[in-house]
Amino acid sequence: MASQVMSEDVAIVGASATGLFTAHLLSQKGLKVRVYEASDLVAPAPRTLIVTSYLRSLIGSVCENSVINRIQGYELFADGRFANVSLLDPELVIERSRLIRRLAERAEASGVKIHTGHRFTGLKSNGRRPTFTVSPNGEKDQVEESADVLIGADGAFSRVAQSAGWPQQPTVPLVQAVVKLPDDMPPDTTRIWFRPEDTPYFYWLIPHSSTHGVLGLIGEEQTKTWKALENFLESKALEPLEFQNALIPRYDSWIPFCRNIEESRVYLVGDAAGHVKVTTVGGLVTGFRGALGVVEAITNEGSSPHSTGLRLELDLHRVIRRALNQFREKDYARLLGLLTPSVRRSLSFFHRDETSKLLLQVFYKNPRLLLLGLRSFLFGE
């Protein structure tokens, strides 16, 4: 049975970070892997991201060339109250476009064939093998292709997902501006402001060099989110040098990442599968974890411990988000006031991708934090 699996060939739509990571892993397992990318080059738009050091354990040293800064701590602000948290293990500021180029190089080195300028246009079922069409850029005619396994890694508005019958995911806008850092801001510290009247999430200022960083937020409606960013920049006397934006999936519930089309299998990874933490709308690390789950499902005949763990993690973040959505600014100020030295030590020791361990430690150190969250979760006040 194993030899039958290893003889399969895989087509992946989308040269995204998760798509290229999945392609590399499957190629290492001995499968023949092709990636189809609509753009003429694997050259995505730049966007600054911040992730925990857990990324290294997932993708190894390939991430190092895309690290443009390291964050040693956070400064948190709400309703006139301030708290800071130091990190024992620095978080990584990643340039997304650099990371994707490095992942593409590694995938090709492992034997993956990347076809740029090929846009996925539709899916058909032809017995055991998924048959799909791609349209080479500059040509009117569509080309019919087939593979034993088809994987959609083509983002929140995945054409593969739509063609295979998955429902359209809800999305939220992410907008940020490149700015010069304030004179009083250390370049190894991220600042977070909680302003629930503007966004149920938060504003951030992430340094990506000793002199510059990105200030942004996630909102609920695009026009209002852009306006909130403009007003906040003005209130902080910060001049935008350029803008970055994206629509990010909002995780509402677990979406099965595999569908059978007659005898064929179609999978989703990354944003296409909605593998995004709804607390921070961060999807890079969870997307890579989802990719590991897909690889397990393909090579282990459906068994996927990584996917089980990822689902629990995403559902936990959904519960936290439900509580936070009820917070007003004074609640955030109260929360910052409950960050005792012992709680801050726990926040320093456990990173954001160890959510269950982190919460257990934090609630043990100060049970009033649990009561504050439960009150908001149950009563909305």
**Position 313 in a domain:** no
The pLDDT tens digits along the chain (381 residues) read 333 344 579 999 999 999 999 999 999 999 999 999 999 999 888 899 999 999 998 998 898 889 999 999 999 999 999 999 999 999 999 999 999 999 999 999 999 999 999 999 998 766 667 788 888 876 677 888 889 899 999 999 999 999 999 999 999 999 999 999 999 999 999 999 999 999 999 999 999 999 999 999 999 999 999 999 999 999 999 999 999 999 999 999 999 999 988 777 899 999 999 999 999 999 999 999 999 999 999 998 666 788 899 999 999 999 889 888 989 999 999 999 989 999 898 888 888 888 888 888 888 788 887 777 666 544 554
Rounded-to-integer distance, Cα 340 and Cα 361, Å:
12
271 and 181 within one domain:
no
227 and 125 within one domain:
no
- From residue 361, alpha-carbon distances to 91, 143, 365, 369 in Å are 20, 55, 6, 11
232 and 163 within one domain:
no
**Position 264 in a domain:** yes
Supply the range of the domain harboring residue 331. Answer: 320-379
Query: Residue 12 sits in a domain of what CATH number?
Result: 3.50.50.60
Instruction: Express as a percent the part of the chain with pLDDT over 90.
Output: 68
62 and 33 within one domain:
no
Looking at residue 347, its amino acid is L
54 and 29 within one domain:
no
**Position 373 in a domain:** yes
**Position 312 in a domain:** no
177 and 223 within one domain:
yes
Give the pLDDT of residue 7. 56
Give the pLDDT of residue 297. 92
**Position 175 in a domain:** yes
75 and 148 within one domain:
no
Side by side, the strands of the sheet bearing 258-261 are 113-116, 32-37, 9-13, 149-152, 264-268, 258-261
Which of the listed residues 249, 271, 290 is the one where a domain comes to its end?
249
- Beta-strand relationship, 129-136 and 189-193: unpaired
33 and 105 within one domain:
yes
**Position 309 in a domain:** no
**Position 314 in a domain:** no
**Position 181 in a domain:** yes
Based on the structure, what is the number of domains in the chain?
Answer: 3
Tell me the pTM: 0.91
227 and 348 within one domain:
no
